[in-house]
Structure 1
Amino acid sequence: MTEERTTLEDLKGALGNDGAAAEAAVQAEPKIDAQGRSYATGRRKDAIARVWVKPGSGRIVINGKEFERYFARPVLRMVINQPLTVAGRENQFDIMATVTGGGLSGQAGAIRHGLSRALTYYEPGLRAVLKKHGFLTRDSRVVERKKYGRAKARRSFQFSKR
């Protein structure tokens, strides 16, 4: 299995010839456990995803199910694959994720966030590319709480004149 590594020149090109940031990214030490995996947590809305990344054939398992069975909608599968396509690492990593809370859209976003973070822990050189596309930023938008005297968070009850 040939593994494509990002060189210092590639990072300088991606960062706009900012040599200091490129060298810092290359010098960062990968965080890999005894089984050869990197772990990260991703969050989106109420969903929390725990993601493990290791070299492999591109198999994605979510909560013990195959990727295609868990996320039937192609849009959600595309959201999860975005960090891999941007980094140019399709079919190079096996991904195992457990996700809880929220709906399918929030879970897909949480897995994308956790996968991006796990990839930067495994290959610190990918951080510049993933950060540029906004995959390392946690989307902090959550549902607003319901207020008393209101039907929902902001909606009033229907007004009755009589």
Structure 2
Amino acid sequence: MADLSSLAELGTVAAAAQPAAPVHVQKLDKSGRAYATGKRKNAIARVWIKPGTGKIIVNGKEFATYFARPVLQMILNQPIVAAARVGQYDVIATVVGGGLSGQAGAVRHGVSKALTYYEPTLRGVLKKGGFLTRDSRVVERKKYGKAKARRSFQFSKR
């Protein structure tokens, strides 16, 4: 009987020894801004956010000018809307590589990460929305003996 009681005690000790959940802390630079890098396809965005009036500048232009299509503007605003922080932060982003769609996705990813660095409490909301996950889908490479990545040359029986 003594053996069974000692096993029960071991179980309670092991349960108490588990590490606590990771604590996320605010990460700011000297200017009081949060910096993050966002990626999508071949585009890489460097994003800084700071408290402000909600101005978004991408590569030195207003975001509505740079991303003319409404769909791309909506993609860019998704994390800010999900976090209910519209008009509270100024966003400055520089994007290189890829096309406009990939660049919009990269800026969205960067804004999401920067928001979590500025306000760690927003992490749960943004994670649930899927904004913190890097979309790893990229263009498949072309293989030899194929016209494109998967397309074969036209087959001729005779």
Q: TM-score range by the shorter chain?
A: 0.7 to 0.9
TM-score w.r.t. the length of structure 2 is 0.84
Pairwise CA RMSD: 1.3
Match of 2:36 among 37, 40, 44: 40
**C-alpha distance in 2 between matches for 1:144 and 1:79:** 24
Residue 149 (structure 2) pairs with residue 153 (structure 1) = yes
Identity %: 73
Q: How does 1:8-47 map to 2 (within 5 A)?
A: 28-47=24-43
Q: Which runs of 4+ in 1 moved over 2 A?
A: 159-162
Letter matched to residue 63 of structure 1? N
Query: SS of the residue aligned with 1:110?
Result: helix
2:100 aligned partner: 104
5+ residue gaps, structure 1: 1-19
Letter matched to residue 119 of structure 1? L
Rg larger in structure: 2
Query: SS of the residue aligned with 2:95?
Result: strand
Q: Which deviations, in whole Å up to 9, do the C-alpha atoms of 1:60-95 show, x marking residues without a partner?
A: 000111111100000000001000001000010000
Number of aligned positions between the proteins: 139
Q: Which deviations, in whole Å up to 9, do the C-alpha atoms of 1:45-67 show, x marking residues without a partner?
A: 11111000000001100011111
In the TM superposition, what is the alpha-carbon distance from 1:28 to its structure 2 partner?
Answer: 3.0
1:72 aligned partner: 68
TM-score w.r.t. the length of structure 1 is 0.82
2:130 aligned partner: 134
Query: SS of the residue aligned with 1:54?
Result: strand
In the TM superposition, what is the alpha-carbon distance from 1:160 to its structure 2 partner?
Answer: 3.0
1:124 aligned partner: 120
